Amino acid sequence: MKTLRQIFSWVIPVVIGLILALLIRQFLFQNVRVDGPSMLPNLVNNERAFSFKQSKIHRGSVVVFNADGVDPQVSTKTDYVKRVIAVPGDTVKSQNGNLYVNGKKANQSYIKMDQRKAGTGNWTLKSISKQNNWVRNAGATKVPKGEYFVLGDNRTVSNDSRYWGFVPKNKVDGVVKVGFWSKNKTRKYNVNQFWKHYFAN
């Protein structure tokens, strides 16, 4: 009997700990590992960050989402990390290195001019949806209800909404935040707080 009590004395705390960890992961936050160069210079390959599930998604927020069912080339659960450029109801246009959301110029100080110009291209939602043969929402002029338009910061290499369309809200796992351990204040701000100054003055 004493042995049984001793077993339960360590088994129960372990079980409770596992349940709490699963609940936190499911409903609050989880660790995210950045894979690839598509978010350079603000998130680097193999960088660790947090994904907060209850955080509100803004224009300029960096999000992690399951690309299965979003990117036609993906058939298993695969996490993509991208920046939200436009939210439901928005129009988007790219011209000469500038992004215009609802006709207003977006602040893109989080990337250099060559990334804005050489990487982004000139388009409207309607033109890229037809040019890249989107499976869903071909010919769209606005971001549909419950969906987001996302781009990687490193536009020349990023596989993003330009090529396959919008990200449904139910595919978004959370808003990405860089932790206290990041020593680069500019990159940390560009991920965690840039959304507060999304439009150019």
* CATH code: domain of residue 76: 2.10.109.10
For the chain, the domain total comes to 1
How far is residue 87's CA from residue 109's CA, in Å, rounded to a whole number? 20
For 177-190, what is each residue's pLDDT tens digit? Answer: 987 777 789 999 99
Give the position of tokens 């990337």.
111
The residues assigned a catalytic role are: 38, 82
Q: In this structure, is residue 15 part of a structural domain?
A: no
What are phi and psi for residue 189, nearest 5 degrees? Answer: -65, -40
Two structure tokens written together for 50: 């947090």
Q: In this structure, is residue 127 part of a structural domain?
A: yes
Cα-Cα-Cα-Cα dihedral of 24, 35, 180, 110, to 10°? Answer: -120
How far does CA 138 lie from the centroid of its chain?
22
Inform me whether the pLDDT recorded for 127 exceeds 80. Answer: yes
- The rounded radius of gyration (Å) of the Cα atoms in the chain is 20
Q: How confident is the model at residue 31 (pLDDT cuts 50, 70, 90)?
A: confident
Give the position of tokens 């246009």.
93
- Give the residue-averaged pLDDT of 81-92: 97
Q: In this structure, is residue 104 part of a structural domain?
A: yes
pTM comes to: 0.84
Q: In this structure, is residue 20 part of a structural domain?
A: no
How far is residue 192's CA from residue 57's CA, in Å, rounded to a whole number? 12
Two structure tokens written together for 2: 């004493």
How far is residue 115's CA from residue 44's CA, in Å, rounded to a whole number? 16
Q: In this structure, is residue 111 part of a structural domain?
A: yes
Inform me whether the pLDDT recorded for 103 exceeds 60. Answer: yes
Range of the domain at 142: 31-197
Q: In this structure, is residue 83 part of a structural domain?
A: yes
Separation of first and last alpha carbons in the chain: 73
Q: HSE (CB half, 13 Å, CA atoms) of 76?
A: 0
- Give the residue-averaged pLDDT of 5-12: 57
How far is residue 35's CA from residue 93's CA, in Å, rounded to a whole number? 28
How confident is the model at residue 12, as a pLDDT?
A: 56
Q: In this structure, is residue 13 part of a structural domain?
A: no
Q: In this structure, is residue 19 part of a structural domain?
A: no
